[in-house]
Amino acid sequence: MRILLIMFLIVISFQSHQVDAERMLLDKNEAIFVFFSLPDGEAMLIQTGRGKDFLVNTASKESEDDLLEQLTNIGIDQLDSIILTNQEQSTCGNTSRIVERYHVESVIHGADLKEICSKSNNHAKEVIWKEGELHELNPGLSVRVLPSMGESDMSLFFMYGKTSLMYLASGDLELEQKIADSYPLKAEVIKIADYARTQSPTLHFLEEVDPHVAMVFPLQGSRPNEGLLERLHESWIEVYQLKKTGTTTILCNLEDYEVLS
């Protein structure tokens, strides 16, 4: 099974247009976090061995074809939920298209949907998550809503077994302090906010969270803060700039994780 997974992910990382992959085979006690390499914006798929699929953000319209192709290559034909961590063009630009194509049951967000993130008129229900809430998405998979700086922002803390992923929605330094004061959390994986353009996360925050892996999505017309990238490397964190590494997957069981890229 692992050989099949690795061969599939190697093909995806080169963004081949000839892939005809079936749904990835996962044990009931496994889950994957797929960080898509796209032309613009961010989208992450969570797939569990118990048959549940969640898409965190839908990237920008510039990435529509690439995102749909990669979801198709993985074998996705239905999504349980879309989770929007904020409501910007680069994070929710394909929400309506994804909802319609993948028969999405619910769209989860932190405030009323802006027009740019509209899910159009269909069966999907809207669900609003509030700061501090803890939600179980599937047996073994849960997510806590962290403090935010704006109504539509949702920084999230995913937990699968003993592996944790902090998905930051804002690179605001004040937000760092709010999170650190409210939830002194450790995370193996951290998704860097604002496409790594700000000063966040600071060295102090990195020491508090102690991540081993950092994910950086690409944004057209923008480059990551070199000082921040240097700080991450100096903190012995393995940095995956998805524009360079390609689509990258974290495979988890209840005890551990491994990065497949």
Total number of residues shown for the chain? 261
- Across the chain, mean pLDDT equals 89
| Structure confidence by residue, pLDDT tens digits, 128-159 | 999 999 999 999 999 999 998 877 799 999 99
Looking at residue 158, what DSSP letter applies?
A: E
Coil, helix or strand at residue 88: coil
Name, in order, each residue with C-beta under 8 angstroms of 182's C-beta and a sequence gap of 6 or more: 132, 146, 147
Q: What is the distance between the alpha carbons of residues 17 and 95, in angstroms, rounded to a whole number?
A: 23
How confident is residue 21, by pLDDT bands cut at 50, 70 and 90? very low
Residue of higher predicted confidence among 124 and 160: 160
% helix / strand / coil in the chain, to the nearest 5?
A: 30, 25, 45
| Per-residue pLDDT, 252 | 96
Q: What's the burial of 209, exposed, middle or buried (CB within 10 Å: 0-12/13-18/19+)?
A: buried
13: its two tokens: 């990382």
Residue of higher predicted confidence among 250 and 18: 250
CA separation (Å) from 249 to 113, 133, 206, 213?
A: 29, 27, 22, 12
| Structure confidence by residue, pLDDT tens digits, 216-237 | 999 999 999 999 999 999 999 9
Closest CA to 33 of 204, 181, 211, 160: 160
Beta strands per DSSP E along 132-233:
134-138, 141-145, 156-160, 163-167, 189-191, 213-216
> Is residue 114 pLDDT above 90, yes or no?
no
How confident is residue 122, by pLDDT bands cut at 50, 70 and 90? low
